A and B are shown apart, each in its own frame.
Chain A
Amino acid sequence: MTANTWTIAAARDALKKGEITATDLTMACLTAMDAGDALGAYVHKTPEIALDQARAADARLAQGDAPAMCGIPLGIKDLFCTKGVPSQAASNILRGFRPEYESTVTTRLFEAGAVMLGKLNMDEFAMGSSNETSCYGPAVNPWRIDDRELTPGGSSGGSAAAVAGDLCLAATGTDTGGSIRQPAAFTGIVGIKPTYGRVSRWGIVAFASSLDQAGPMTKSVRDAAIMLGAMAGHDPKDSTSADIPVPDFEAALTGDIRGKKIGIPREYRIDGMPAEIDALWHRGAEMLRDAGAEIVDISLPHTKYALPAYYVIAPAEASSNLARYDGVRYGHRAKLSHGDGVTEMYEKTRAEGFGHEVQRRVMIGTYVLSAGFYDAYYNRARKVRALIKRDFEQAFAAGVDAILTPATPSAAFGLGEMSQADPIQMYLNDVFTVTVNLAGLPGISVPVGLDGQGLPLGLQLIGRPWEEGDLLNHAYVLERAAGFVAKPQKWW
């Protein structure tokens, strides 16, 4: 097995023992990256930066001053601003943009010695569930069952494809309505969205600021614990970042969940859910019961209204956040005709620079925030959001430690298959994940099995706020019980 297939934990141990150098590990990943172009995962490769960082990591390792992430090669989602490196949010409106600053998350990872291999594909401004709204063209799922190309999910589709295809050891993702957990489930990897405020949003291109949260996408639960520890922590530059200590998440992986109470929310049993997913959900509950947890039925009565509330709130925030793309300070500016003024510059620039889905969401957001509709849509959605959050609070107050649900309503679908469907059909991908963003809770997707066609399926665990350690421990138990070791057959 070449080193690019390793987990973070395995690589960390091998680096510390001197069984491999960070430079050789990075070279193995760069080779895999270059051989993996058919996956469309990397959109800007940074081999020189990677090798510089790897050499620096080797020097630190030699001195014995090496944190866990030292020398670990990562892919970075294109949504993160990386100094001097294109950071486009997969949008034409940011073509040519090279930030003069580094996001807090990448700063922390680099300070811990991590290596950046390149920037990863995604849906434009993280708006999409299939990576098909990307200005670069879609990333492709390493998993396939016939000659069709399947989506790796979205919006962190490039991250998911790169991790599942072993084009890196792990990747950063971001999750506004399911953008870490859904692609993780579609590609058979682990993805955690932390509690809102756990990871700094500074330097991450904003989509919906009250919902956005970054997290790791990894090959194992242990890796997620290690990498989250390096990403998390208070940042004065993000006013919503929590000023609380970051525990040792890896140390929380005891494998002991005896006496824990796992809630099974009845409202997540939706119409038309494939029988295989229902069966997987049952099996997951049995695994946790066999490990000594108590399984209880719970009710989260406002679940049904999460998607419509999300599709008011997220576009409303997006319409405000994306107002900054005006052709003045950075990115694309349209060619103007004689006599065009500043308004024409804005309108033409935004029409040329934003793709169809982004335009649609900005306009929906504009409408729900406009005079006369603000109360009917936006304020009502925020009230429903408060009720969704309260549902979870009541479940936790009744003693529930974690909630188990399916991660997605289906396995990965074919690229292009949803192109004729109305937008709502695509939005339904987020039906199990979006509640977690609305309530600000931590959620993790764990690969648990393959469907009848041979495609990976995941389950989601939802935890109490700030209890990522406990949540990861539940995920660790589920991972060990499920014993998911399948890998996609290499075709690229």
Chain B
Amino acid sequence: MSIDVETARRVAKLARIQVDESDLAALAGELSGILTFMEQLNEVDVTGVEPMTSVTPMRLKRRADVVTDGNIQEAVLKNAPESREGFFVVPKVVE
């Protein structure tokens, strides 16, 4: 599978990582190389095999649906790059 510049641009956009136009060709080349390596997987007969979803055969635990913590607004906001009046601040989202 070869990745062209257009696909590389789309993947970078989906991943929300800014990539300079001049770097897209090199990125496309790197991604193509890795995907070619992965194509070995096509040699394996996976007929009738279920995709692995759980590493160890265990049932996920359940617990009562109750609040177990809270009232830690200050701690939650402590590491925010920008906060105001108890909220995270981001650039304007709606025009």
Contact = CB atoms under 8 A, between A and B. Distances in A.
Interface stretch (A52-60, A217-225, A343-351, A402-410): A343-351
Contacts of A342: 90-93
Given A329-B79, A345-B91, A386 B37 contact: no
A389 B52 contact: yes
Given A350-B16, A364-B31, A100 B41 contact: no
A107 interface: no
Contacts of B40: 304-305, 308
A347 B78 contact: no
Contacts of B52: 382-383, 385-386, 389
Nearest to A241: B61
A348 to B, nearest CB: 5
Interface of B: 3, 7-8, 11-12, 14-19, 27, 30-31, 33-35, 37-44, 46, 49-53, 55-56, 58, 60-61, 63, 72, 75-76, 78-82, 88, 90-93
Contact of B12 (A307, A345, A363, A368): A363
| Majority secondary structure of chain A interface residues (helix, strand, loop or mixed) | helix
| Majority secondary structure of chain B interface residues (helix, strand, loop or mixed) | loop
30 contacts: A96-B79, A97-B79, A99-B79, A100-B76, A101-B75, A196-B55, A242-B58, A308-B38, A326-B16, A328-B81, A330-B79, A330-B80, A333-B81, A340-B91, A341-B91, A341-B93, A342-B91, A345-B90, A347-B16, A350-B18, A354-B17, A364-B35, A367-B31, A367-B35, A377-B38, A382-B51, A383-B46, A385-B51, A386-B49, A440-B55
Interface string A212-250: 000000000000000000000000100110110000000
B14 A370 contact: yes
A387 B47 CA distance: 11
Nearest to A354: B17
Nearest to B12: A363
A239 B44 contact: no
Contacts of A101: 75
Contact of A242 (B7, B18, B41, B56): B56
Given A308-B41, A331-B81, A359-B15, 6 more contacts: A100-B79, A350-B15, A351-B19, A377-B41, A383-B52, A387-B46
B56 A196 contact: yes
A305 B81 contact: no
Contact of A312 (B33, B38, B43): B38
Contacts of A384: 41, 44, 46
A418 interface: no
Interface string A37-50: 00000000000000
B11 to A, nearest CB: 5
A186 to B, nearest CB: 24
A380 interface: yes
B9 to A, nearest CB: 11
A332 interface: yes
A363 B31 contact: yes
Contact of A329 (B15, B18, B55, B80): B80
A360 B12 CA distance: 9
Nearest to B95: A341
B51 A362 contact: no
Interface in A360-399: 360, 362-364, 366-368, 370, 377, 379-387, 389
B41 A309 contact: yes
